[in-house]
Structure 1
Amino acid sequence: MKNDEPLFERRVLLRTAVCLGAVYAVGALVRDQTAPSGRQAPRAAPARPAAGPAAGAGAGVRGSRPLGPASYRLRPLTAHAPQKYRPALPPVRRRPILQLPPTDRSMVLTFDDGPDPRYTPAILRTLRRHDVRAMFFVCGGMAAHNRDLLREIADDGHVVGNHSWSHPLLTRLRRPTIAAELGRTSDIVARTTGVAPVWFRAPYGAWNRWAFEIGAELGMEPLAWTVDTLDWTEPGTGTIIRRVLDGAGPGVVVLSHDAGGDRSQSVQALRTYLPELLDAGYGITLPALPRY
């Protein structure tokens, strides 16, 4: 029997080890099922509203690499995004808004490409003289060099819109480049005026699907126009005036420019056609964001 004792002791030790191992394995399994773990099976993504924009990529986790100002604007659904950079409310559009609802004799005046210290101040003085508000779709590069003028536009009660950073043809750009053009411009406007743009206009009126999607992710509505003065061709002050007055009507959106070239004709034309529009009973107003 003595020869069997070591064998018996080894069997006891082996059984004890097996039991302890089983207990440890069960405990580990319980911990894995009850404690948060990066190895858990991913939860099903919540369904997005049918009309809502595509969600941004998930980022903004504490301890991760900080995102640049243009980057976090493109992630509006993250918990750490500042409140003013809210998730996009409008659905992604397939075409821009062309005019206001023609319910009264109201028109919208818009100026693109600025701000330019050579022409924008004169336009602001004319608008101020007649107590009229307009929309200025600014280029980020111009805004960055004329931040005091950008603040003056906003302080006068005008709407500051997004017209990209460098005025490229968006339809020839890749999505990340479009995002940078629009995102950087919204950032400089928000940092300067305290309010991020809620309207944007594609340079040359050239939109594509990516531009609509990115604009919606940034919380902006696309606005086009119904009357193009073609003032960038410098057709003469009288021609600009005639185009505005001939195209006047309820809901009309007028396109002019306060930068991008010699805009002295645009400045002079505004001094003439604005009081004529007011005398004809037109109200110069600002567009309201659509309700959804």
Structure 2
Amino acid sequence: MIRRIKLPGWIVIFLLLAGIVFGIDKVFVKVFGESLEPNEKIVDSSVYPGLNIETKTRETDLYTSSVSKPYTDNEQINKLMNEWIDEQEEAFTSGIEESKNMLEENDFRAHLNIQVDTEKIADKLYTIEFQAYQITGGANGITKIKSFVMDLNENKLLQIDDVFQLNKSSIQDIQELIMNKLHSNEEIKPYILDEEAEKALNDSNNWKWSVTPDNVIFYFDEYEIAAGAAGSIKVEIPIKEIKPYLNETFAKKLNIELTEEETEKEKKSTEDYPQLDPDGKYVALTFDDGPHPEVTPRILDTLKKHDAKATFFMLGTQVEYYPELSKKVMEAGHEIGSHTMNHYDLTALELNQIIVEMQQSNDIIEKATGRTINLLRPPYGASNSDVEQAASGMDNSLIMWSVDSLDWKSRNAAAVNEEVMSNVSPGSIVLMHDIHPSTADALPQLLTSLEEQGYQMVTVSQLLELWDEKDVGPHYGK
């Protein structure tokens, strides 16, 4: 199977040198004024034992970004993955500098999205597939793919000779398998450049590959072996076809059958909440980008103490890692909506890509919680007619906000409380994020202040029902 997937010159030189000496995250801070959180100790509650993930988003006048970063207890493994992420961020930073004038003139924001697809092969044996998409100008963005296969039983990243028998005969056979798959796909066959494909496969040390329980996958970047219309290419070869060429030790690991019980959960509609008094004083607190293994439980505890309900707009990538935590949010009586799968700016995607982003997230959240998703908050609040069409097709309402706590910017509890209390009014939908410890710090006093002014904290759906608003929206609150 195959799938497609102007500053002055001296400042640019300074940025490049700074990126080398201090690291690309620090360059982002210096250039764009972003405030990066220090590394936090994360509780290992992931569905992938030994492997956790953190998704960080940024937003400025020039760009938006969403970077998912998996990590382990092994610093060397983390270092190798982070080096590749840093390379993508450095290229993005350079692209912004080159396109700064165009971005400002055209009121267009650049976007970087690094998403992660994780496959469990066996016990603590994982494939991590990164897909980095960036657009800094022009009509089309650039997509790059990188994979890592890690064995956390031995605390190492597997190299190609850990997986394949790399004698001359097996290399030739694998090359032939890949070429046959490329030519058998009618969709991309017209774009394949045979000479470039053979060149890319010539040195096995340069192969980009990964393993899943069912396939061995070989990756090719855009323009590497085909015309640009083909996009990034994945060649999937079933294990049964390539097994004769696998390293014997690795093949034995694949034969260890770890059966996962697949239980079909009956999809239920969102729990019915009590009807609201039309003359009541209500506010809907919403939390984006989670769940987070440390921050989200703190927020749940505070909400429980104040008998307050809230709505959590979760990322599919985060729910995939922390399904039990997602379920706890639902079981605590709170509402769950989708924040898409990978936090893309949906307005930069084609309609079919938007649908995939929404559907993947809905499926993962519904599997984790057993509840049907009918609310969507588009990342960055970015929406257009395609986004509305996709949401309508899934019977999802688009939920924006009327009060931005700016917790993503201030990272300060007192500032969060001041921002919300200065702008809140009856019927407000308040934007917060359950990934910042400072937001959890702010919540006890914020709830107390709201209660003192007579507010009751309810879900977004309760507000929409009170206003008799059941359409796609977008809905912003009062």
Higher relative CO (CA 8 A, sep ≥ 6), structure 1 or 2?
1
SS at match of 1:161: strand
CA distance in 2 between counterparts of 1:139 and 1:147 reads 11
Deviation per CA, 1:101-148: give whole Å up to 9, x if none.
985310000000000102100000000111111000000000110000
| Match in the other structure for 1:109 | 285
Q: Is the 8 A contact 1:103 1:250 kept in 2?
A: no
- Go from structure 1 to structure 2 and tell me whether the alpha carbon gap of 1:85 and 1:107 turns closer, same or farther (over 3 Å shift): closer
- What is the SS of the residue equivalent to 1:132? coil
1:183-198 matches, within 5 Å, as 183-198=359-374
Task: Give distance in 2, aligned partners of 1:218 and 1:83.
Answer: 18
Q: Given that residues 101 and 251 in structure 1 are in contact (C-alpha distance below 8 angstroms), is that contact kept between their aligned partners in structure 2? A: no
Find out whether 1:164 has 2:337 as its counterpart: no
Which of residues 214, 221, 227 is equivalent to 2:390? Answer: 214
Residue aligning to 2:35: none
Residues 32-80 of structure 1 deviation map (CA, whole Å, 9 limit, x = unaligned): xxxxxxxxxxxxxxxxxxxxxxxxxxxxxxxxxxxxxxxxxxxxxxxxx
Check the 8 A contact 1:135/1:161 in 2, yes or no.
Answer: yes
Give the 3-state SS of the residue equivalent to 1:154 in structure 2: helix
Task: Give the alignment partner of residue 458 of structure 2, picking from 281, 285, 289.
Answer: 285
What's 1:96 paired with? none
- Residues in 1 aligned to 2:288 and 2:411: alpha-carbon distance in whole angstroms: 17
Separation of aligned partners in 2, 1:121 and 1:183: 26
Distance 1:139 1:109 in 2: 17
- Take 2:353 and 2:441, find their aligned partners in 1: how far apart are those partners? 36
The total of aligned residue pairs comes to: 195
- 1:193 Cα shift? 1.1
Cα distance, 1:291–1:205 mapped onto 2, change above 3 Å: closer
| Alignment CA distance shift 1:126-1:143 (3 Å) | same
Cα separation, partners in 2 of 1:250 and 1:102, compared to 1, 3 Å: farther
Residue type of the partner of 1:186? N
**How far 1:195 sits from its partner (Å)?**
1.2
TM-score, normalized by length of structure 2?
A: 0.39
**2:371 partner letter:** V
Deviation at 1:237, TM superposition (A): 1.4
Select 1:130's aligned residue among 275, 293, 306: 306
SS where residue 341 of structure 2 aligns?
coil
Q: Which residue of 1 aligns with 2:178?
A: none
Deviations 1:252-286 (A, max 9, x none): 01100012xxx111111111111111122111112
In structure 2, what is the Cα distance between the partners aligned to 1:251 and 1:102? 11
Segments of 4+ moved more than 2 angstroms = 82-86, 100-104, 287-292
Q: Name structure 1 gaps, 5 residues minimum.
A: 1-81, 87-99
Matched, 1:141 2:314: no
Given that residues 316 and 341 in structure 2 are in contact (C-alpha distance below 8 angstroms), is that contact kept between their aligned partners in structure 1?
A: yes
- Answer whether contact 2:432 2:439 (CA < 8 A) is retained: yes
Shift in CA distance, 109/224, structure 1 to aligned 2, threshold 3 Å: same
Residue 453 of structure 2 aligns to which amino acid in structure 1? A
What's the TM-score, normalizing by structure 1?
Answer: 0.63
- Once the two structures are superposed, the pairs formed by residues 1-292 of structure 1 within 5 Å of their partners are 103-259=279-435, 263-286=436-459, 287-288=461-462, 289=465, 290-291=469-470
Q: CA–CA distance in 2 between the matches of 1:165 and 1:203?
A: 10
Cα distance in structure 1, aligned partners of 2:338 and 2:415: 28
Larger radius of gyration: 1
Residues 185-208 of structure 1: CA distance to partner in whole angstroms, max 9, x if unpaired? 110111111112111110000011
In 2, Cα distance between the equivalents of 1:127 and 1:85? Answer: 24
Could you say what the CA RMSD is over the residues aligned between the two structures, in angstroms? 2.3
Cα shift at 1:214: 1.1
Give the direction of change, closer, same or farther, for the CA distance of 1:247–1:213 in structure 2 (3 Å limit). Answer: same
Give the gaps of 5 or more residues in structure 2. 1-264, 270-275, 472-478
CA deviations 1:75-111 (Å, max 9, x no partner) are xxxxxxx99599xxxxxxxxxxxxx998531000000
Which amino acid is the alignment partner of residue 277 of structure 1? L
Report deviation, 1:234: 3.0
